[in-house]
């Protein structure tokens, strides 16, 4: 039998409701999947004609099918750390929190990073997440068995000129490891991450930017997350200079601030281009956001992490009302209690102060947690339109018609509502 004549395997999933994306909901709805790819989505009778004869059928009355969520900023290898969050006994400030994370990384036993990754990935699937923008942890090899679709960003840290080459070599090595993993696990693909503007100096920043451009890799950077960061970038002073670097045994007394705007600084380094993903963005001005967006950057907001670490709140109102596409991320388990993007959507909703009707706001937030995240990470998915990967989740139907269905979706859905989650058509989580 020729390869062209080999029968294809098809599956039809029928439910009381189908959310194809943040704009289209069908009730009842069906999803047709062949070889891990969506071939049809819509009215059950129509979908049934689009899959091979004899396809397997599953029916879920009282349930809804929706695109798997895209967590655009995660650190899956970082665990929950007791007393790490500012205000607790272990960390009084954001800088103290950073030092707790550094201490954990240095003291973690072999194998812990892979175990943390497996646990966090399982928790993500149980919350309906199918794809992540992951900042690579200390063990890049652990991603060989990652069940989530992931853009894994190899992270570089090195502020002084003397540290740049060794840090860059480590980034290149991690990119090579992640790319090689992708040959065996096609869900995983590499990117690069200059950690932050206060931990990556100008020399290393330019080197990583050039690598990203040369290899057409997306780049992710934590930016404008805390007041301490903004003070350091402005003057070279503050707690980062007086507490963080002395604790690390580093002398950064030569630094007197970036001497320009943040958009200008990133542009000068060659980093501001399409493919740049900026994470947090709490302390950017609206003019900064406009200039960064004009340069090709996209944005990820992490409101729960920002609040927990005492860093303020992102300007959700401006992003929504100005129509600026943004994604959502949960950051790490060291700053948030769970991997639920549903709680992240609700946190963003709670700080919105504009006049957009609730139904439309919830549509926008669902779009941020699905299609916007996939686009920001240059990953397929985030929708269930034909041609998309069959990354989906099955939930208890939240009810409602039209826009109210999206409002109910955001208000009522959480990990307890998740019945099953599939990546590339493979059901990897099912509620017992």
Domain harbouring 24, CATH code? 2.30.40.10
196 and 55: one domain? no
For residue 123, give the CATH number of its domain: 3.20.20.140
Q: Which residues contact 42 (CB under 8 A, 6 or more apart)?
A: 18, 20, 26, 29, 30
Among the three residues 334, 359, 376, which one is the final residue of a domain in this structure? 376
Neighbours of 213 (CB within 10 A): 14
CA dist 431 and 427 (Å) reads 11
Q: Which two tokens stand for residue 72?
A: 């655009």
76 and 208: one domain? yes
pLDDT tens track of the chain, all 432 residues? 334 444 577 999 999 999 999 999 999 999 999 999 999 999 999 999 999 988 999 999 999 999 999 999 999 999 988 766 776 656 679 999 999 999 999 999 989 999 999 999 999 999 999 999 999 999 999 999 999 999 999 999 999 999 999 999 999 999 999 999 999 999 999 999 999 999 999 999 999 999 999 999 999 999 999 999 999 999 999 999 999 999 999 999 999 999 999 999 999 999 999 999 999 999 999 999 999 999 999 999 999 999 999 999 999 999 999 999 999 999 999 999 999 999 999 999 999 999 999 999 999 999 999 999 999 999 999 999 999 999 999 999 999 998 999 999 999 999 999 999 999 999 999 987
59 and 89: one domain? no
* pLDDT score, position 5: 46
310 and 182: one domain? yes
* pLDDT score, position 29: 97
pTM: 0.96
* pLDDT score, position 84: 65
Sign of the dihedral defined by the CA atoms of residues 114, 120, 121, 123, in that order: positive
Nearest CA among 305, 373, 413 for reference residue 78: 305
216 and 335: one domain? yes
CA dist 201 and 385 (Å) reads 42
* pLDDT score, position 92: 79
* pLDDT score, position 110: 83
79 and 64: one domain? no
63 and 73: one domain? no
DSSP string, 29-55: EEEEEETTEEEEEE-HHHHHTSS-TT-
Tell me the residue range of the domain where 45 lies: 3-68+385-430
113 and 173: one domain? yes
146 and 181: one domain? yes
199 and 88: one domain? yes
DSSP secondary structure letter of residue 163: G
133 and 275: one domain? yes
* pLDDT score, position 90: 62
118 and 207: one domain? yes
């Amino acid at each position: 039998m020729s390869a062209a004549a080999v029968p294809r395997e098809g599956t039809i999933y029928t439910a009381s409701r189908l959310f194809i994306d943040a704009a289209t909901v069908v009730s009842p709805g069906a999803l047709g999947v062949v070889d891990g790819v969506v071939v049809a989505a819509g009215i059950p009778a129509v979908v049934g004609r689009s899959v091979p004869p004899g396809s397997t059928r599953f029916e879920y009355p009282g349930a809804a099918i929706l695109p798997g969520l895209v967590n655009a900023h995660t650190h899956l290898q970082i665990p929950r750390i007791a007393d790490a969050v500012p205000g607790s006994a272990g960390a009084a400030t954001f800088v103290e929190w950073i030092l707790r994370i550094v201490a954990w990384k240095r003291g973690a036993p072999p194998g812990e990073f892979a175990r943390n990754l497996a646990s966090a990935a399982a928790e993500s699937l149980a919350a309906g997440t199918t794809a992540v923008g992951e900042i690579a942890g200390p063990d890049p090899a652990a991603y060989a068995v990652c069940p989530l679709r992931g853009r894994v960003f190899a992270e570089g840290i090195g502020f002084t000129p003397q540290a740049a080459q060794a840090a860059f070599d480590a980034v290149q090595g991690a990119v090579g490891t992640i790319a090689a993993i992708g040959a065996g696990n096609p869900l995983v693909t590499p990117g690069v991450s200059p950690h932050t503007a206060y931990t990556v100096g100008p020399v290393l920043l330019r080197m990583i930017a050039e690598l990203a451009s040369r290899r057409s890799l997306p780049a992710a950077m934590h930016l404008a997350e805390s007041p301490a960061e903004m003070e350091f970038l402005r003057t070279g002073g503050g707690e980062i200079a007086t507490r963080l670097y002395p604790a690390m045994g580093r002398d950064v007394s030569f630094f007197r601030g970036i001497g320009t705007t943040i958009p200008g600084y990133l542009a000068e380094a060659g980093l501001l281009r399409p493919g740049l993903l900026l994470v947090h963005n709490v302390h950017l001005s609206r003019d900064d956001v406009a200039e960064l967006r004009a340069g090709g950057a996209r944005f990820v907001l992490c409101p729960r992490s920002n609040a927990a670490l005492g860093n303020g709140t992102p300007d959700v109102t401006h992003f929504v009302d100005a129509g600026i596409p943004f994604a959502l991320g949960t950051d790490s388990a060291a700053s948030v209690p769970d991997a639920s993007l549903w709680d992240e959507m609700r946190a963003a909703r709670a700080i919105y102060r504009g006049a957009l009707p609730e139904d439309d706001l919830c549509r926008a937030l669902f779009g941020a947690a699905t299609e916007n995240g996939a686009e920001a990470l240059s990953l397929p998915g985030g929708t269930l339109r034909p041609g998309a990967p069959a990354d989906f989740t099955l939930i208890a139907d939240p009810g409602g018609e039209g826009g109210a269905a999206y409002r109910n979706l955001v208000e009522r859905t959480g990990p307890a509502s998740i019945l099953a989650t599939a990546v590339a058509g493979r059901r990897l989580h099912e509620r017992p």
